[in-house]
Amino acid sequence: MTRPATTVRKYGKPIRKTTAEQLFAELPKSPVKKNEPDSLPRRKFESVLSGATPGGLEEEESVKAITQQLHSVTLIDDNDATHNHENTQPPTPSSLSSEFDHTITWSTICPHPTSKITKIAEASYAEVYRITNPLGTSIIKAIRLPSPIKPQTKAQQRSGLVDEDPHSETDLSGELQISEWLADVPGFVVYKERYVVQGKATKPLLETHQAFHRKLKRQDPDRLQFYPSPSRYLHDTKFLVVELGDAGTALEDFTLNDISQVWDIFLHTAITLARAEELIRFEHRDLHEGNLCIRQARPARPKPLDDDNSCQFGYSGLEITILDYGLSRASSPSSDYYDDTFASPDPGEEGTIVAYDLEKDLSLFTSTHALQCAVYRQMRSYLLMGDRPGRGRALPPESHTTPYKLDIVSGKPISWSEHHPYTNVLWLAYLYRFLLSHFSTCQSSPSHDGGGGKAAAAAAARADKTRRENDLNVFKAVTKELWTHLNPDAPRKIQSFPTAVDVVRYAVEAGWITEEQLMDSGGSSADRSRLSVFDTTDRHNSSYHCGNGDDGQREGNQNSVAGDDDSHLRRSPRRRTMVRRAAD
């Protein structure tokens, strides 16, 4: 297959926002809709638990009203010792508990036998359940508030049970605020309602908790249980329960049958992150396979057998939804956003900043129980070193035991409230690797009619394995250059994508996403071609320039590199000016 030649520029971070970036800022954004005076609160959107809502909750204010008093927020533990760093304790938001004159019980959330509750995941500091009843299906996140529970039994102590600490209202308000900012951005979970739930667990809740952990033990015998068994809930045990739209199946449990699904999941995730980067300077910081849900939104369609068609996006019919902002960082949209299609906040003009302070829980960086733990260390290594570490240079677990270490570039303690969009790139790299591995190990459902017995089934399995291997080889070949700039372990002379926006820009340049797919449905300036962001006049003025000045030459030959004077650009997606190291 022949593909149209594309021009690839350098992927170092520009000094200023170029015309191309300003135009591209229009591409990924979905404007946050202003609530009309007579519109219903967004939090009432299709709640399947509405029957459980006490009368006092019907007049409750929106999430935005709860958190509107926040200013620059870095979420830190109330029990943390004082550290000599610039982060300040955030103002205390309005009490969530004070809004609930009444609480509800677990039996009200999921009355038996008309409802079914199934535990499906464990998020950053929440347990995730699916609730199904005659009204429909919702996802709920249950976060334990400071409240008593029964002590561990001797058997639980011997098993090494580690209780997840309860979380304060300050911790929770940040995630709720980000949910409000992202409410109208496609690709992010729909926020419906929230409740305070108090009391002992029901039998169905206990049974689904036990079934979930039996399944995990079969998959990973060494995995620890971090959340208390519902058998330990007391009358005064309280949870904040957040109700969300059902986004489908977690990626880790979704069977990939066709390579078009790999393309769509990766590209759709990149586009969704790019939208949020431009709108609220968003970083997810925890985008593993459990926080990405997949659903079949439309029937799949075959890719046209056209040698000139390089488009790879939109054939599977899948849609993705990003969940869980517990570790995320974002800042409020600029007030000019609603009036200026091209507006995006400047670094020095951010409003409310919400950022979970990851320094409060260094076990994220010292743990090795899952592949995603390496990405947490890559993020922190990046903040500390001011650079992409490269192969073998990411700081090991034992180097992440001291909080608020100094950034070697600025000499100041690292701060998770700062905007480092390269963290989104690290998670896209993780997703790329996971998709390749997951696709290769998934097994398609048998398509034969059962005739031939075991021999036919074995032959079908071999054919499916061969097809998957061939499809993966083609995918790797087509995306080889993308992975070169995405790979956090690439040699330090190789430049990295600085943001998810740049990953999407590359995909458009390569022809994997078409102009029509990136067109908004509205009129006015939205009707402009999104491919105009790659106008050739901007290439000469943009810092996205590579090689020896030949704009028409793709960077497939890695020996074609710039001179030593700007060699730092090829290893640093973060800063234009870097501190030279003797090791270089």
CATH number of the domain to which 151 belongs? 3.30.200.20
Residue 540 predicted with pLDDT over 50: no
Q: Give, in order, the Cα–Cα distances in Å from 62 to each of 45, 199, 207, 278.
A: 12, 25, 34, 24
pLDDT in tens, 547-568: 333 333 333 333 332 333 333 3
Number of Cβ within a 10 Å radius of residue 466: 10
Determine, yes or no, domain membership for 7.
Answer: no
Choose between 441 and 83: higher pLDDT: 441
List, in sequence order, every residue forming a beta bridge with 244; answer none if it has no partner.
139, 191
Determine, yes or no, domain membership for 463.
Answer: no
Instruction: Return the residue matching tokens 């998957």.
Output: 468
Select, from the ranges 132-141, 218-227, 386-395, the one with the highest average predicted confidence (pLDDT): 132-141
Of the residues 246, 271, 306, the one at which a domain ends: 246
> Both 217 and 90 in a single domain?
yes
> Both 292 and 234 in a single domain?
no
Q: What is the pLDDT of residue 48?
A: 66
> Both 126 and 153 in a single domain?
yes
- Number of folded domains that form the chain: 2
Q: Which residue, among 406, 327, 328, has the nearest Cα to 364 in the 3D structure?
A: 327
Q: Angle at CA 144, nearest 5°, toward 138 and 147?
A: 140
Number of Cβ within a 10 Å radius of residue 463: 12
Q: How far apart are CA 26 and CA 5, in angstroms?
A: 25
pTM of the model: 0.72
> Both 121 and 167 in a single domain?
yes
- Band (pLDDT 50/70/90 cuts) for residue 399 is very high
Residue 86 predicted with pLDDT over 60: no
CATH number of the domain at 342, please. 1.10.510.10
Q: Give every CB contact of residue 204 below 8 A, 6+ residues apart in sequence.
A: 110, 112, 116, 117
Average pLDDT of span 330-347 = 56
Of the residues 215, 246, 277, the one at which a domain ends: 246
Q: Which residue, among 273, 291, 292, 293, has the nearest Cα to 283 in the 3D structure?
A: 273
Q: How far apart are CA 139 and CA 143, in angstroms?
A: 13
With a pLDDT cut of 90, the percent of the chain lying above it is 42
Determine, yes or no, domain membership for 134.
Answer: yes
φ and ψ of 184, to 5 deg: -105, 10
Q: How far apart are CA 254 and CA 352, in angstroms?
A: 36
Residue 346 predicted with pLDDT over 60: no
> Both 239 and 263 in a single domain?
no
Choose between 5 and 468: higher pLDDT: 468
Choose between 522 and 213: higher pLDDT: 213
Q: Burial letters for 206-239: b for 16+ Cβ neighbours within 10 Å, e otherwise?
A: bebbeebbeeeeeeeeeeebebbbbebbeeebbb
Structure-block tokens of residue 251: 């990626």
pLDDT in tens, 240-282: 999 998 889 999 999 999 999 999 999 999 999 999 999 999 9
Range of the domain at 408: 19-30+253-433+484-570
pLDDT in tens, 301-338: 998 877 677 899 999 999 999 998 989 999 998 644 44
